[in-house]
Structure 1
Amino acid sequence: MTSSSAPLPDQIQRFIFDDTAVRGELVQLHQSYQEVLIRHEYPPAIEKLLGELLAATALLTATVKLEGTLTLEARGQGEVSLLMAECNTGIQGGDQLRAIARYQDEPQGHTLTELLKGGQLVITLDPYEGKRYQGIVALDQETLTACLEGYFASSEQLPTRLWLAADNKSAAGLLLQKLPEDAQNKDPDAWTRVGHLAATVTSEELLHLEQQQLLHRLFHEEDLRVFEPKLLKFGCTCSRERISNALASLGEEELNSAIAEQGKITTQCHFCNTSYVFSQKDLPEILNLQNKVAPQGTKLH
């Protein structure tokens, strides 16, 4: 569906409709989504939901203009116990994305409510500077799209439309948002009109049509202004030092006991599957790091 055989870049495209109170974001993920999938063998239903969550995370991070980490964490009592995606901004070469899922056996459900029964979605904004914010969304709709649209309507009070899609190759999302009215808005009907236009998008187009082509296909009759796209990539924040910091909080006695019993301490990052091995000779280094741990503790991610 593209005019070039070159792989599409992982990027997010911001755009606005001139002289209106409507803005939008378009994200397409290919390599970063594949990096998530190759580290774990997920069933198709999990792949699809995880791809949609990853695309939604990128869209929300750009929409709130966060400098820090945004996390979408869905927990439930069904066949899937956890779906989690994160985005770190301000990274050289593009914002970093990652995601994981935890589930039982081969899930039989297909919709969000079937797979995460009685679940909720926690949206966490953790800025590099400033206070941490959390919002909670009930997973009481069949799709992630409907749940997030409901969140924006009730909590943010900003009318928002979302279209999410994922297959086993790509993940993508389109977001439209109506901003508060001001004197610059010369087209009060724009929100309804562009919403109808966006609703004609197909999952195939969203996933595989080049972004400029897609925006032209949907909004060629509108006065659309696009900005420089931002690159995205897979990335993990784990490191040997961070793992050492976490182990240090266990204390010398417990660490000695674990090494005596197993010969070594092996930990694995849930996001990227990197293994970290610590032996008896590493214990002085770990315990020395204990003095550097902040009073509130250290996050692994």
Structure 2
Amino acid sequence: MINTIIKTLILDKSIRLYFTDNTKMLQEIMELSTIKDKTCCFALAKAVSILSLLSAALKDNQRISLVITLTNKNHKIYADTDAGGNVRGYVSQALLKASRQQNSNHSLQDLIGTKASIRMMKGLEMSQFTGVTDMPYQNMDDDFAYYFKQSEQTDTMIQTNIELDRNSCLLKSYGIYAQALPGAEEGALDFVREQFEAENLASLLLNMNDAEIEKALNQRFYRSKVLEHKPIQFSCSCSKEMFYGFLYSLSAEELQKAVETSTSIDTTCHICGRSYVFHPSEIQTILQTR
């Protein structure tokens, strides 16, 4: 069940519980990121893992766009997802540059700092809700739970497990998202957290089939049911058309020189690494329409 979110309801439909092994998806994203600093890799992986879990709560054409602004306001982490489980994530160029100069001994708490914030936009393209909160816990998981409590008044539990090797390559990733629904008893979410932490329950469930998952959940949380599986995958929405704006930002002299010397202009998406080549004939067309 790799790159699949397992959606369940537990405690008599009072808690929605989602969990996933998103290792392969995150490995693809992290390999494309070119980040060298281990803590920065860890932060991006956590942010993307959390957002991938949230995709399972979206419907129709809904999207979530996330911006985490660290205490250094030029250092940002971006991620977005949609109801189809398409996920991507990347860091700002300033943070990418800094990550190549960082001392890898710094902690996630140091990277986030005391004045970081979470900004999430959720909804349809023409109708979005935007919520902004600070990050008092400086650990991502509890900060996102805090976001939901502050912006949507919902009690939420988020746990992500990220394992990196000494070279900052991602070895393993899984995540849990649990949220209290109307009618949930006070303390129900704390009970769920205790059960998962006491037994490392997520890793056990991820190695079971649906019948085994339901049995294991019902042994701990009464009236539990597996609802469905939702796939998640890395997806970048870049296209050649998006890079025409870059060419229009070049001077007429630069474009003319490319045409006269029959030189193509190569562009690369910094998110997925896909390259787009503009040939002299296309550059000539841009010159004519300036």
Q: CA RMSD in A?
A: 3.3
For 2:40, the aligned partner's letter is I
With over 3 angstroms needed to count, the CA separation of the structure-2 counterparts of 1:77 and 1:178, relative to structure 1, is closer
Q: Quote the residue 1:237 is aligned against.
A: 237
Deviating more after overlay: 261-270 vs 50-59: 261-270
Deviations 1:214-263 (A, max 9, x none): 7755653322111220111111100112222x34764xxx4523324665
For 1:54, the aligned partner's letter is V
Question: 2:288 & 2:9 partners in 1: Cα distance?
Answer: 52
Question: 1:257 & 1:264 partners in 2: Cα distance?
Answer: 15
Alignment of 1:14-53 (within 5 A): 14-17=7-10, 19-42=12-35, 43-53=37-47
For 1:158, the aligned partner's letter is T
For 1:13, the aligned partner's letter is I
TM value normalised by structure 2? 0.78
Alignment of 1:150-229 (within 5 A): 150-167=146-163, 168-181=170-183, 190-202=188-200, 205=203, 209=207, 217=216, 220-222=219-221, 223-229=223-229
Q: Quote the residue 1:293 is aligned against.
A: none
Asked if the contact 1:15–1:227 (Cα under 8 Å) also holds between the matched residues in 2, the reply is yes
Question: 1:202 & 1:80 partners in 2: Cα distance?
Answer: 37
Deviating more after overlay: 118-127 vs 10-19: 118-127
SS state at 1:283 partner: helix
With over 3 angstroms needed to count, the CA separation of the structure-2 counterparts of 1:204 and 1:194, relative to structure 1, is closer
Deviating more after overlay: 233-242 vs 12-21: 12-21
SS state at 2:175 partner: strand
Question: 2:25 & 2:247 partners in 1: Cα distance?
Answer: 32
Deviations 1:162-219 (A, max 9, x none): 11111212322111111122xxx7x776444333213325398279745756775565
For 1:63, the aligned partner's letter is A
Q: How many correspondences in the alignment?
A: 270
Q: Quote the residue 2:2 is aligned against.
A: 9
Asked if the contact 1:72–1:84 (Cα under 8 Å) also holds between the matched residues in 2, the reply is yes
Q: Quote the residue 2:48 is aligned against.
A: 54
Structure 2 gaps of 5+ residues are: 164-169
Asked if the contact 1:81–1:116 (Cα under 8 Å) also holds between the matched residues in 2, the reply is no
For 1:100, the aligned partner's letter is Y
Matched, 1:115 2:111: yes
Structure 1 gaps of 5+ residues are: 1-7, 291-301
Aligned-residue sequence identity (percent) comes to: 19
Q: Quote the residue 1:81 is aligned against.
A: 75
Q: Quote the residue 2:167 is aligned against.
A: none
For 1:242, the aligned partner's letter is M
For 1:61, the aligned partner's letter is S
